[in-house]
Structure 1
Amino acid sequence: MKTAFIIFHILICLAIILVVLLQPAKVQGLSSAIAGGAETFFGKNKARTYEGKLSKLTTVLMVLFVLTSMFLVYLLNK
C-alpha cells in the first residue's frame, strides 16, 4: 500500500510540473495598459478558456498533492 501511494504521489508531482509548464506566461507590459478593456470581457468567461481549465486543474492537483503528502507522512510514521 505504501508503494502504491508513493507511485501515485510521484505521478501527481509530474502532472503538476506538466500543467504549470503548459500555462502561458503572465507578462504585463505596455500593451496590457492600452488594451485593459478586453480583460473585463474575457474575465467573465475565463473558466471556459484553456487557461482557465489549466488553472482549475492546477488547483485540483495541488490539493491532491497536499492530501497525499499528509497521508504519506501518516503512513511512513506508523
Structure 2
Amino acid sequence: MKASLLTKLETLTDRHEEVSALLGDSETIADQNKFRDLSREYSELESVVKCYADYSQVKADLDEARQMLEDADPDLREMAR
C-alpha cells in the first residue's frame, strides 16, 4: 500500500480517537450541536478505521507467517503452511 495512503489512514485513526475522547467530554455533551456534529463524524470514521485495523491485523499475521516460513526449524515452517 502506498505510504501516502497509510499516512492518511493513520491520520483518520488519530482523528477517530480524538473525536471519541471529545464525545466523552462534559462540555461537548452540554453543547448538543457540537455533540451531534462529532457523533456524525465519529460514525463516518468508524467504518474506515475498522477496515484499516482489520487490514493491519491481516498484514501482521501475513508477515509473521512469512517469517515462520523462512525459519530454520522445519516444524515451524510446516506450521506456517
Return the TM-score normalized by structure 2: 0.51
Task: Return 5+ residue gaps in structure 1 as ranges.
Answer: 1-7
Deviations 1:2-40 (A, max 9, x none): xxxxxx3967753431212333533312452x457xx6x
Q: Map 1:35-74 to 2 at 5 A.
A: 49-74=40-65
Which has the higher relative contact order, 1 or 2, with Cα contacts under 8 A spaced 6 or more apart?
1
Q: What is the number of residues matched between the two proteins? A: 62
- Indicate the percent of aligned positions where both proteins have the same amino acid: 2
Which letter maps to 1:56?
Answer: S
- For residues 8 and 2 of structure 2, the distance between their equivalents in structure 1, rounded to whole angstroms, comes to 10
Alignment RMSD, CA only?
3.3
Decide which structure has the larger Cα Rg and report it: 2
Relative to its length, the structure with more helix (as a share) is 2
- For residues 58 and 47 of structure 2, the distance between their equivalents in structure 1, rounded to whole angstroms, comes to 17
Return the TM-score normalized by structure 1: 0.52
Q: Map 1:17-32 to 2 at 5 A.
A: 17-23=10-16, 24-25=18-19, 26-27=21-22, 28-30=25-27, 32=29
Cα pair distance change 1:53/1:19, threshold 3 Å = same
